[in-house]
Amino acid sequence: MAMTEFRTVFGSLKDFTKGEIEIIDDERRNYAFSNMFEVASKSAPYERVVVGKNLEYVLETVRAEGTSDWYTASHDEFALVMDGKVELDLVKLDDPHGIAPPGKAGAVKLHGDPAGRKMGLIKMGRGHQALLPAGAAYRFRASDSDAVGVILMQTILGDESVEKWSEICYT
């Protein structure tokens, strides 16, 4: 019995092919699919563009360029670096509920620097994932000043989430 051979192709901002779905007796417009690298290539730095949605949960593509604002959430979030090198600063907030009350969905942007205890710095490269714990503030920074990276965030749809379905999906 012959084994089928599969080849995984991993894209980047410099080298990607627009994603597609293999349609089985159906039409493309019935499916939502976007290419995170294409989305990031057209996004503003740290704009959180929703590329996948399951009930209230979302996947957001983030273009990592320069240094982001500080964010927090009332729930855990995850950041997966898909391209480039990104540093992540974490601060345990003195008053997390004053910024993101329990039950507040999605990321909340802080105004200014967070008040709290530094938790550390995480240096991430392609394929590295970090937990962004509830009650902590975080900011991203592209490791090289002229470099651009791509982060895939798992979170809950919130005020900072940007939905651009008509721009990123097949019609």
113 belongs to a structural domain: yes
pTM (2 d.p.): 0.83
Q: Does 133 reside within a domain? A: yes
Query: Residue 140 is part of a domain; what is its CATH number?
Result: 2.60.120.10
Answer whether residue 24 is part of any domain: no
> What local confidence, expressed as pLDDT, does residue 25 receive?
61
Give per-residue pLDDT as tens, 56-98.
Answer: 999 999 999 999 999 999 999 999 999 999 999 999 999 999 9
- 68, 46 contact by CB (below 8 A): yes
54: left (phi over 0), alpha (psi -120 to 50) or beta: beta
Task: Please report whether residue 130 resides in a domain.
Answer: yes
pLDDT digits (tens, 9 = 90+) for 22-46: 555 665 555 445 588 889 999 999 9
Q: Which domain holds residue 75?
A: 50-163
> pLDDT tens digits for 107-137?
999 999 999 999 999 999 998 999 999 999 9
Structural domain contains residue 10: no
21 within domain boundaries: no
Q: Would you state the pLDDT for residue 14?
A: 82
Number of domains in the chain: 1
Does some domain include residue 101?
A: yes
Tell me whether residue 146 is in a domain. Answer: yes
